[in-house]
Amino acid sequence: MVGALLSGCGVNQAAAPERFSSGGYEVVDYEGTVVKIQSKPKRVLTLSLTFDVIALGLTPPETLVAVNLMAADPGLSCIADEVKESKTKLLSYPLETVAALKPDLIIASTWTDRVTVQCLRDMGIPVVVCKGPETVEQVRETILLMAKVLREEQAGRNVLAIMDAKLAEIEQVVSRQTGRKPVGMLVSQMTSYGGKGSMFDELCTKAGIVNGIAAMGLKNGELVTKEVVIASNPDFFLISADRKFTTIQGKKMQREYLGDPALQHLP
């Protein structure tokens, strides 16, 4: 049965690690799956830039067998310096490539394709699914779960202490601000991102900024139309600068957006 599943996933069974024997420890992931881990992980692969960042707050860089390609871009990543020496940087995670890395733990996201998660588990690799965070509280919960999985509980508590101190500092600064709060508009190729219920919206609130998308009544996942942008009358646009990995499509979108005649009258 396992052989058939591996064949269906398109992975060479010989490349898959052996299944775990007795011993080790168990964790319950975000989705309620009990995951058995043989020993403290030494060859970890996360399947997103977000989790690379969290993992490197908990464990040394050499623990990660690969990192997301965008982790090396200082315009996108706060861990660019830490991953400079990483030999393997991935933009995607093909099953054959993952198997060749021989990870003893994979940290996947609720954003990860379900078929991929099942195929990795069928290969005998322990896969822990963590919540792709949409709120600060979910970031906190994900840090604690990843710390438990990596057996770095104290490091997890340390990270949360730093995070709480930074948030408290921001809150103090924002509480002293007076006058009208500025309205900001996120410009993104993800044209249905940024409304109420998104991480962006929560961070705007904590920064003392009005999220123009949410202010127009849009929930996260609803299309941000040109009419919404104009009606929100934003004080500023938040748009990505050109980066090493900016695509031709991304640059084209930025030029067209900023040059749109319908937006030129906005302040």
For the CA atoms of the chain, what is the radius of gyration?
Answer: 21
Give the pTM.
Answer: 0.82
Which residues, in sequence order, are CB contacts of 114 under 8 Å at separation 6+?
Answer: none
19 Cα distance to chain centroid? 28
23 half-sphere exposure, CB direction, 13 A CA radius: 5
The more confident residue out of 251 and 26 is: 26
Whole-number pLDDT of residue 18:
40
pLDDT at 69 over 90: no
User: pLDDT category, 71, cuts 50, 70, 90?
Assistant: confident
CA-CA distance, 186 to 233, in Å (whole number)? Answer: 12
The closest alpha carbon to 50, from 70, 64, 65, 33, belongs to 70
Give the pLDDT mean for 200-227.
95
pLDDT at 204 over 80: yes
DSSP alpha helix (H) spans, 102-184: 114-122, 136-149, 153-175
Lowest mean pLDDT among 23-32, 213-222, 253-262: 253-262
Q: Which helix (H) or strand (E) holds 106?
A: strand 105-109
Phi then psi for residue 244, to 5 deg, are -55, -40
% of the chain beyond a pLDDT of 70: 88
